[in-house]
């Protein structure tokens, strides 16, 4: 069991929270669309489809197209795997910020609706994978966010109590999963999602604000 040095377990979303993956996600989708002879979509349109898992991303990206969803899903996975490290980068301040949070004794984890293997590949490629005690993605637990399965798995492994846990993300699914799991929620405004009908416990405009909040010794 993980020994928490302080009271906080910080669970981060991936796309739109730790990494800006919009360009590579768009590349995968548009290569898949090109396979079917469908014109490309803008990055801005595609980023609006992100947040609920790859199946929903593909489904939304093919609205009105008469194609087999399972085949399209397999094609997008293939194309994205070939290009997911092309332009994807950590948001400003994330590398140093994660190191500061870890040095302060916080336990760090990732819970993403992106499939687990690509999630781990990206974070390891960006040299921050080792800062997390667990990286959970789609397929690693039975259900995607906003199901609390992933948070419950992290609670069990870490031994943390719900009142000492934060789910931090850029999408309403992150706020909803926090609510469903009974943990605190933090929303970052710089990402690609939206908060929907949910109100976060804290809102931050940059990753450096997240770091300051959790390293200011303001927690009981």
CATH number at residue 49: 1.10.150
What radius of gyration do the chain's Cα atoms show? 17
CA separation, residue 6 to residues 91, 145, 146 (Å): 26, 26, 26
Same structural domain, 198 and 149: yes
- pLDDT digit string (tens) for 126-174? 999 999 999 999 999 999 999 999 999 999 999 999 999 999 999 999 9
Domain boundary among 63, 83, 103: 83
Active-site hit among 13, 15, 24, 52? 13
Within 10 Å of residue 197's Cβ, how many Cβ atoms? 7
pLDDT at site 53: 87
pLDDT at site 217: 61
**Residue numbers of the domain that contains 31:** 22-83
Same structural domain, 143 and 108: yes
Which neighbouring-strand residues pair with 111? 136
Within a domain: 173: yes
Sign of CA dihedral 15, 112, 82, 126: positive
Joined tokens for residue 91: 């948001």
Confirm if 24 and 48 have CB atoms less than 8 A apart.
no
**Which H or E run contains 99?**
helix 94-103
Same structural domain, 100 and 44: no
Is 20 an annotated catalytic residue? no
Same structural domain, 192 and 161: yes
Within a domain: 1: no
Counted domains in the chain: 2
Alpha-carbon distance 50 to 15, whole Å? 8
Domain boundary among 43, 67, 83: 83
Q: Residue 93: CB partners within 8 Å, gap ≥ 6?
A: 206, 207, 208, 211
Same structural domain, 157 and 135: yes
Q: In what order do the strands lie in the sheet with 9-12?
A: 134-138, 107-115, 9-12, 165-169, 184-188, 202-204
pLDDT at site 64: 80
Alpha-carbon distance 171 to 63, whole Å? 22
Alpha-carbon distance 138 to 146, whole Å? 12
Domain boundary among 61, 83, 105: 83
Sort 217 into a burial class: Cβ within 10 Å, 0-12 / 13-18 / 19+.
Answer: exposed
pLDDT at site 1: 37
Low-confidence ranges of the chain (pLDDT < 70): 1-6, 217-220
Within a domain: 193: yes
pTM, full prediction: 0.93
Within a domain: 4: no
Tell me the CA end-to-end span of the chain in Å, nearest whole number: 23
């Amino acid at each position: 069991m993980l020994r928490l040095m302080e009271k906080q377990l910080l669970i981060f979303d991936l796309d739109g929270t730790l990494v800006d993956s919009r360009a590579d996600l768009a590349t995968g989708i548009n290569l898949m669309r090109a396979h079917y002879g469908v014109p490309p979509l803008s990055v801005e349109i595609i980023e609006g489809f992100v947040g609920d898992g790859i199946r929903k991303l593909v489904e939304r990206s093919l609205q009105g197209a008469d194609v087999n969803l399972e085949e399209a899903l397999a094609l997008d996975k293939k194309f994205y795997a070939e290009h997911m490290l092309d332009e994807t980068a950590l948001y400003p301040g994330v590398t140093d910020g994660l190191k500061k949070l870890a040095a302060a004794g916080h336990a760090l984890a990732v819970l993403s609706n992106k499939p687990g293997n690509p999630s781990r590949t990206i974070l390891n490629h960006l040299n921050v994978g080792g800062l997390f005690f667990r990286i959970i993605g789609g397929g690693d637990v039975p259900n995607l966010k906003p199901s609390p399965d992933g948070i419950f798995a992290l609670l069990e492994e870490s031994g943390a109590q719900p009142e000492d846990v934060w789910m931090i993300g850029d999408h309403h699914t992150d706020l909803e999963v926090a609510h469903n799991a009974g943990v605190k929620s933090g929303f970052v405004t710089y990402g690609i999602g939206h908060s929907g009908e949910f109100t976060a416990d804290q809102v931050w405009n940059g990753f450096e604000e997240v770091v300051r909040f959790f390293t200011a010794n303001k927690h009981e």
